[in-house]
Amino acid sequence: TLLYQGALNEGRGLESLIEAMKNIDATLLLAGEGDLSNQLRHLVKQSNLSNKIKFLGFVKPEELKTITANATIGINLLENKGLSYYYSLSNKFFDYIHAGVPQVCIAFPEYQNINRTYQVAILVEDCAPEKITTAVNQLLTEQNFYLQLQKNCEVCARHLNWQQEEKKLLVLYHDLLG
């Protein structure tokens, strides 16, 4: 099972992901709603992919945590629509890591930095359907590689979490307040 969680909005690579699903032997769950919800539902129906792509709509956080933990691959794509996207670091990136779910992720700088240290994802340069297909199919077929990324997620989750960030924030507050 592939999982995309988040807004179904422009710039998230969702049209390309749907196109890629034609050549991926898996189910895609889309958890969320947004400006493109109706258009994407129409595209799925028009592409005869209703048997492979399921729209979950809005999902409560506790349910999403369970859905994420049961996913095989997380999807975290963005199109370069400006600096706010290019330098972003999404919550879903960390949700997948903490659930132990390897992901296909866009190769923007902050994702590259973390992936250089922990290798938790396959990074794609852009949202071209062929690149998405290749990355997803690599995770689905190369079991040892997939398991290594899964282990890397566990290591990364021990380092990149609120408990560790809290310590840094408290030091910063202490230094500011003297």
In the block, residue with structure tokens 């997939």: 146
CA distance 18 to 43: 8
CA distance 166 to 158: 13
Point out the residues of the chain with pLDDT beneath 50. none
Sign, CA torsion 104/10/18/68: positive
Record the tokens describing residue 86, joined without a space: 């290019």
Task: Please write the tens of the pLDDT for every residue from 78-111.
Answer: 999 999 999 999 999 999 999 999 999 999 999 9
Record the pTM: 0.91
Q: Could you tell me how many helices (H) and strands (E) the chain has, helices first?
A: 9, 6
pLDDT score for 78:
96
